[in-house]
Chain A
Amino acid sequence: EVQLVESGGGLVQPGGSLRLSCAASGFTFSSYEMNWVRQAPGKGLAWVSYIHSSGTTIYYADSVKGRFTISRDNAKSSLYLQMNSLTAEDTGVYYCARKQWLGPGADYWGQGILVTVSS
């Protein structure tokens, strides 16, 4: 069974940092491209970042470029999101999502982890 489990969220002050992790199981993690998607409270979905299966190609939303860093450790079947210089606008639930093997969609999602940026 495919599982994606996020961790590392919580309350952080403005300007602070957090590192989210996503532990993958039930599939060959090293073969799949991955994404982070977030959702502010009461708002819609917002794509955050993408990483190729090899880690060689990475994309970011403009809103996080220069502050967030996506990475992966295929040996540990884990995806990461290092978030620096956090602001209140970064508050929300963060999901890791697996991109389909063949197709543009995200076919498996984690349960989400809450990040709250507040003083």
Chain B
Amino acid sequence: DIQMTQSPSSLSASVGDRVTITCRASQTISTYLNWYQQTPGKAPKLLIYAASNLQSGVPSRFSGSGSGTDFTLTISSLQPEDFATYYCQQGDSPPFTFGPGTKVDVK
């Protein structure tokens, strides 16, 4: 099975900050990597699919990059509504594992 790790597990940031979250797969997954945002009590929301494709309706301050085993989610200028937990997920082969999540909170 493919294991997914994320770093950091949490970070504190301010509005306007540039935020970068990394995700690593235990084996190559090409670009079969998704990023989701989840706020408390809500369902996850797809932000980025296939490593670098912005899901429709998602603000352009979100971007994704990477291929193979190493991936990055970047928020170029953090907004108040972006304080949330972010998960990566591999879609290469079952089980379609999620990373443990990165919580972004207020500094």
Contact = CB atoms under 8 A, between A and B. Distances in A.
Interface of A: 35, 37, 44-47, 50, 59-62, 95, 97, 100, 103-107, 109-112
Nearest to B38: A45
Interface of B: 1, 32-34, 36, 38, 43-46, 48-50, 53, 55, 85, 87, 89, 91-92, 94-101
A45 B55 contact: no
Contact of B46 (A47, A107, A110): A107
A104 B87 contact: no
Contacts of B94: 50, 59
Contact of A95 (B44, B53, B55, B87): B44
Contact of B91 (A62, A105, A110, A112): A105
Pairs A-B, 5 closest by C-beta atoms: A104-B91, A105-B49, A59-B94, A109-B43, A105-B34
B53 A35 contact: no
12 contacts: A44-B98, A44-B100, A44-B101, A45-B38, A47-B96, A61-B95, A100-B46, A103-B49, A105-B91, A106-B46, A109-B45, A112-B43
Contact of A107 (B32, B55, B101): B55
Contacts of B96: 35, 47, 50, 59
Given A100-B49, A103-B49, A103-B53, A46 B98 contact: yes
A103 B50 CA distance: 6
